[in-house]
């Protein structure tokens, strides 16, 4: 399945960004995965783990704009529960935005374990949207970054530059973010004008959590006295 989407304005804040919200230059696989889940109305992030995605860009790199916007900083503690006055918890911060972003997405569901594959659900959403149940707008990145639309790719849309996995590539993007720990899994990319096997990125399947309460230290030897 080859999809085309256009987003007039968006931002993909880097993991280390704080006061100055710097953006990734290209949509991360983790963000594309969330977009597809939103398209089909799926709220369980683990529903289609194991899916393979390939991401391409049409045209030149999207230009970056820098704006000043108000951001609220909440302190979660017993003394600040539910009380966030604007004078104390709001301040201007800089943020980077991407404009005129055209993305191509290729999806492969052969390795995911879901009964109904994500490819099939996306096909239903595009052909007969009345058969799916979803809420809210379709965004790429933050909730305000609404897309103009999503449909099947046409050759008239333009030539595709594919992101390709490359351990020495200069582009680093997150492919999965652990919501409970905040830690991310990253992959480095380069560019290719031809689609190849290295363009595929697998959204990793969830790992079983480590048992709680068990120490990793080797057991101590028992001491005996005569």
What pLDDT does 200 receive? 97
Domain ranges for the chain, please list them: 2-69+95-202
Token pair recorded at residue 133: 């149940």
Nearest CA among 83, 95, 90 for reference residue 142: 95
Sign (positive or negative) of CA dihedral 118, 121, 127, 133 = negative
pLDDT averaged per 10 residues in sequence order, the chain, 226 residues: 95 80 93 96 93 96 87 59 61 86 96 93 94 92 92 96 96 86 86 96 71 50 42
Nearest CA among 115, 120, 139, 119 for reference residue 10: 139
Cα separation of 163 and 142, whole Å?
Answer: 22
What pLDDT does 113 receive? 86
* 3-state DSSP assignment of residue 64: strand
What pLDDT does 207 receive? 53
Based on C-alpha coordinates, what's the Rg of the chain? 21
- The correct CATH number of 2-69+95-202 out of 3.40.640.10, 3.30.70.2660, 3.20.20.80, 3.40.630.10 is 3.30.70.2660
């Amino acid at each position: 399945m080859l999809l085309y989407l256009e987003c007039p304005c968006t931002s993909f804040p880097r993991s280390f960004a704080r006061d100055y919200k710097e953006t990734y230059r290209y949509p991360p696989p983790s963000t594309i995965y969330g977009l597809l889940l939103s398209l089909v109305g799926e709220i369980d992030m683990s529903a289609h783990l194991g899916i393979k995605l390939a991401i391409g860009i049409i045209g030149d790199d999207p230009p970056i704009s820098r704006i000043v916007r108000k951001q609220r900083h909440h302190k979660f503690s017993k003394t600040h529960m539910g009380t966030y006055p604007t004078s104390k918890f709001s301040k201007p911060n800089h943020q980077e935005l991407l404009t005129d972003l055209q993305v191509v997405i290729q999806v492969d569901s052969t390795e995911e374990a879901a009964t109904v594959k994500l490819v099939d659900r996306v096909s239903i959403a595009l052909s007969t949207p009345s058969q799916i149940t979803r809420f809210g707008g379709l965004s790429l990145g933050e909730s305000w970054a609404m897309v103009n639309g999503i449909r099947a790719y046409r050759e008239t849309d333009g030539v595709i530059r594919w992101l390709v996995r490359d351990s020495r590539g200069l582009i680093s993007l997150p492919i999965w973010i652990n919501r409970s720990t905040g830690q991310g899994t990253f992959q480095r990319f380069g560019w290719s004008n031809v689609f190849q096997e290295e363009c595929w990125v697998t959204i990793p399947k969830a790992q079983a959590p480590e048992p709680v309460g068990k120490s990793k230290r080797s057991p101590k030897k028992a001491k005996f006295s005569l």
